[in-house]
Chain A
Amino acid sequence: MARSDQNIVLHVDDVSKNLGGLQALSDIDFAVEEGTTHAIIGPNGAGKSTLLNVIVGRLPPTRGAVVFDGTVLTGKQPYEINQLGVARVFQTPEIFPELSVLQNVMTPAFAKRDGAFRINIFRTVDSEAEIRDEAEAILEDVGLSTRLASHAGSLSRGDKRRMELAMCLIQHPRLLLLDEPTAGMSRHDTNTTIDLLKKIKARGMTKVIIEHDMHVVFSLADRISVLSGGKIIAEGTPDEVRGSAKVQEAYLGGAHRLEAH
């Protein structure tokens, strides 16, 4: 591998996770280079979401460690991991349904600017023009600029995903984890999202993306890990993975079946 170690942002170091007797992850080991997009694909129940849960501190690994930018994440609280620069879009959108779309996107900006805790009661939200302008700009990027005042809970599933993506983007994370960001979106919305994710890549943001849609994977990923039964069964560039017999086998006939999800 012609990859230099100092450019590694994320290193998942021999991680295993046992979930109530089920070996959800076995000896997962891979590294993600700065500025690249690393896709994780695999059938349902392969352990992809579990892997992200281990990275963001939701689940402690049974064995192994996760190293982000030279810092061991294992044992840290989720909020500490985010403060280090790791943001995540969830498979089921995690948003603030009772707040407006604009408030949803402004809130993470305060965590970025003011840290994990600050009693900020002298200013008003209305007077935070800088954060507000940035939130509006990012909402424009994701195509929600007409919904600023809407209740986030009233958005469609696809719009919730895009808003959640905006909530992550406003933090300018060094590492962005995306769990099926286009699931439940129309073809048109999927393409808009791909364009958006490409634009972020141009800004140098490192991404780990879980995706069922092969179209999305092959248009975005620099490297792909194929997960099946909690093990990485193949890893390489999109072309290498496409050609792998093992991968074909895991999918019982290739990308066609995956696209159904």
Chain B
Amino acid sequence: MTLFALSRRDLAVFAVFAVVVLAMPFWLQPLGAAYPALMQKFVISAIFAIGFNILFGLTGYLSFGHAAFLGVGSYTAVWSFKLLTMDAIPAIFFAVLVSGLFALVIGYLSLRRSGIYFSILTLAFAQMCYNLAYSVLTPITNGETSLQLTLSDPRLIDTALAPRPAGLPSASLFGHSFSGLEGFYFCAVVLLIAFFVTQKIFASPFGMMLRAIKSNQTRMTYTGFNTRPYTLTAFVISGMFAGLAGALFAITDPLAGTERMQWTASGEVVLMTILGGVGTLIGPVIGAWFIEYFENIFSAFNESVVHAFFSFLPAEIADPVALVASKFVGEGWQLTLGLLFVLVVVFLPGGIMEGVRRIGSLFGRRGTPVSPGAARAQPAE
């Protein structure tokens, strides 16, 4: 059973991760984020980020265009809904396939360069995709108004099996349509599968080759490796993860718009990965959750929430403190996030995961090797 084989340590990481993800509705309750639409975002962004990290974290190639694959995945999924069926499985299948093909072409061309030139090429291709979706390809993408379901969609498979329902249908799984918390759990299970696949890649010889390419590409070529197909495979895999994330966005809300392909979305996944810890397994997930939390919860705090928070202080202290603090929440959430990002990059270049590791080594793990991933054949986090 090499297919499912992982070291005991990796299996333990997976088990803990599974519990944390599946228990989100409970531990997000006190944080005020336990509603399905937001939890779905948490889970889907995590998939986007861990896929991005397979390229950036393992090979070191920094793509600034991964939102394009996310968008392609969403459009493909919505078309699968419109033409074939509301079932989630075909939507995911086609979304991953088509985004993989896009990644193959864009990756093939972009990987002819490295460093900043590679990044610029991916950005240029993503902007091309965005502009095509916005203007030239409006028959396919519906441009500004977004691609949506309509009552007159053919849905060939669904209509052949059952009479048309009265209103607009929602996504389904084997005939059972789902929404709300069920939608969250569907995405959560997909995240667990994606996470397991990532663990397999990290622990595999293929993953070690990708790390070696990041470390010294010259040595790789004089060691008999043709590095181009390795980096291209990593690019396509991460493009497929992005497409999968795009499909899940469409499954939880059957709609695909150009804004998902905007360059800011490409930049956001870079921030998530760096904030959490480039090249680590868990880091990108944590980075994704941090940023989604800031974007959705922190931005909603207003002055009265802040006042309530500081109400334990005497009024003459609480008022100025709350006044200053309120500048960092609500509309000022990006200020906080920006500061946080700067602090992490300056003091913890390995991201939040490095902080976790440092704290871990303070408590009792002094005897163990210090350098990440040195003791075993692959880094664990």
Q: Please, which residues of chain A bring their CB within 8 A of the CB of B375?
A: 100, 149
Which of A43-51, A61-69, A89-97 interfaces with chain B? A89-97
Q: Nearest residue in B to A164 (C-beta to C-beta)?
A: B219
Asked whether B212 lies within 8 Å of A128 as measured between CB atoms, the reply is no
User: Is B233 engaged at the interface, CB distance under 8 Å to the other chain?
Assistant: yes
Asked whether B206 lies within 8 Å of A127 as measured between CB atoms, the reply is no
Asked whether B200 lies within 8 Å of A122 as measured between CB atoms, the reply is yes
User: Is A56 engaged at the interface, CB distance under 8 Å to the other chain?
Assistant: yes
Which of B134-142, B169-177, B224-232, B307-315 interfaces with chain A? B224-232
- Which residue of B2, B221, B225, B230 is within 8 Å of A123 (Cβ)? B2
Q: Which of A79, A132, A150 has the most CB of B within 10 A?
A: A79
Give the residues from 283 to 339 in chain B that come closer than 8 angstroms, CB to CB, to chain A: none
Q: Please, which residues of chain B bring their CB within 8 A of the CB of A77?
A: 221, 226
Q: Would you give the shortest CB distance from A88 to chain B, in whole angstroms? A: 6
- Which residue of B200, B215, B224 is within 8 Å of A99 (Cβ)? B215
Q: Please, which residues of chain B bring their CB within 8 A of the CB of A127?
A: 2, 5
Which of A7-15, A104-112, A208-216, A241-249 interfaces with chain B? A104-112
Asked whether A98 lies within 8 Å of B215 as measured between CB atoms, the reply is yes
A107 to B3, CA, bound (A): 21
Asked whether A96 lies within 8 Å of B215 as measured between CB atoms, the reply is yes
Give the residues from 120 to 151 in chain A that come closer than 8 angstroms, CB to CB, to chain B: 120-128, 132, 149-151
A112 to B224, CA, bound (A): 7
Asked whether B216 lies within 8 Å of A120 as measured between CB atoms, the reply is no
User: Is A154 engaged at the interface, CB distance under 8 Å to the other chain?
Assistant: yes
A49 to B230, CA, bound (A): 29
Q: Nearest residue in B to A151 (C-beta to C-beta)?
A: B371
- Which residue of B211, B214, B218, B223 is within 8 Å of A167 (Cβ)? B223
- Which residue of A90, A98, A125 is within 8 Å of B205 (Cβ)? A125
User: Is B377 engaged at the interface, CB distance under 8 Å to the other chain?
Assistant: yes
Q: Would you give the shortest CB distance from B12 to chain A, in whole angstroms? A: 14
Q: Which of A87, A100, A124, A132 has the most CB of B within 10 A?
A: A124
A98 to B219, CA, bound (A): 13
Q: Provided the pairs A102-B377, A122-B2, A151-B374 are in contact, do residues A94 and B204 lie with their beta carbons within 8 angstroms? A: no
Asked whether A125 lies within 8 Å of B219 as measured between CB atoms, the reply is no
Asked whether A116 lies within 8 Å of B203 as measured between CB atoms, the reply is no
A91 to B127, CA, bound (A): 44
Asked whether A110 lies within 8 Å of B209 as measured between CB atoms, the reply is yes
Asked whether A94 lies within 8 Å of B219 as measured between CB atoms, the reply is yes
Asked whether A97 lies within 8 Å of B205 as measured between CB atoms, the reply is no
A106 to B207, CA, bound (A): 13
- Which residue of B200, B205, B225, B373 is within 8 Å of A100 (Cβ)? B373
Asked whether B233 lies within 8 Å of A119 as measured between CB atoms, the reply is yes
A58 to B225, CA, bound (A): 14
Q: Which of B207, B212, B220 has the most CB of A within 10 A?
A: B212
Asked whether A111 lies within 8 Å of B208 as measured between CB atoms, the reply is no
User: Is A37 engaged at the interface, CB distance under 8 Å to the other chain?
Assistant: no
User: Is B149 engaged at the interface, CB distance under 8 Å to the other chain?
Assistant: no
Give the residues from 355 to 377 in chain B that come closer than 8 angstroms, CB to CB, to chain A: 369, 371, 373-377
A126 to B377, CA, bound (A): 6
Asked whether A171 lies within 8 Å of B224 as measured between CB atoms, the reply is yes
A118 to B377, CA, bound (A): 19
Asked whether B222 lies within 8 Å of A110 as measured between CB atoms, the reply is no
- Which residue of A83, A102, A120, A132 is within 8 Å of B224 (Cβ)? A83
User: Is A103 engaged at the interface, CB distance under 8 Å to the other chain?
Assistant: yes
Q: Which of B200, B214, B220, B377 has the most CB of A within 10 A?
A: B377
A50 to B317, CA, bound (A): 73
User: Is B120 engaged at the interface, CB distance under 8 Å to the other chain?
Assistant: no
Query: C-beta contact mask, B247-258 vs A, less than 8 Å → 1, else 0?
Result: 000000000000
Asked whether B224 lies within 8 Å of A98 as measured between CB atoms, the reply is no
Provide a sorted-by-A list of 9 A–B residue pairs whose CB atoms are within 8 angstroms.
A82-B223, A94-B222, A98-B215, A119-B206, A121-B206, A126-B376, A126-B378, A151-B374, A167-B223
B residues bordering A, Cβ < 8 Å?
2-3, 5-7, 200-201, 203-209, 211-212, 214-216, 218-227, 229-230, 233, 369, 371, 373-378
* Known contacts A78-B222, A87-B223, A112-B224, then 7 further A-B pairs from the complex at CB < 8 Å, ordered by chain A residue: A99-B212, A111-B224, A123-B204, A124-B5, A124-B6, A125-B205, A125-B377
